[in-house]
């Protein structure tokens, strides 16, 4: 949007005959070009995110030591080995 506005201000500058008006148009164009620039994106630091997640998991009782309990859990009851939850009736 601002780039198109800057192009229009450039066309207006060409058509103006007064230097003072050209100066104002140039300032408007420069302002539009400044607004058109994108803000620099800061790189994502995944280490900080991982540390925050690990801290939260520990606070909620879901830390590394607590997860080991679930990995050793065998469960009770039958396990379906066929991969199909329903039995077929003929």
- Please tell me the distance from the alpha carbon of residue 8 to that of residue 2, in angstroms, as a whole number: 10
**pLDDT, tens digit, 9 for 90 and up, residues 65-86:** 666 666 666 766 555 555 555 5
Mean pLDDT of the chain: 79
Burial class (CB in 10 A: 0-12, 13-18, 19+), 62: middle
What is the rounded end-to-end Cα distance, in angstroms, of the chain?
A: 68
Segments in the chain below pLDDT 70: 65-73, 75-90
Model pLDDT, residue 13 = 85
* pTM tops 0.85, yes or no: no
């Amino acid at each position: 949007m601002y780039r198109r506005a800057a192009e229009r201000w450039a066309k207006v500058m060409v058509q103006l005959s007064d230097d003072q008006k050209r100066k104002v148009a140039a300032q408007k164009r420069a302002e539009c070009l400044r607004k058109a620039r994108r803000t620099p994106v800061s790189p994502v630091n995944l280490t900080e995110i991982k540390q925050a997640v690990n801290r939260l998991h520990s606070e909620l009782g879901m830390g590394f030591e607590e997860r080991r309990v679930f990995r050793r859990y065998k469960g009770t009851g039958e396990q379906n080995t066929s991969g199909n939850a329903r039995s077929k009736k003929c």
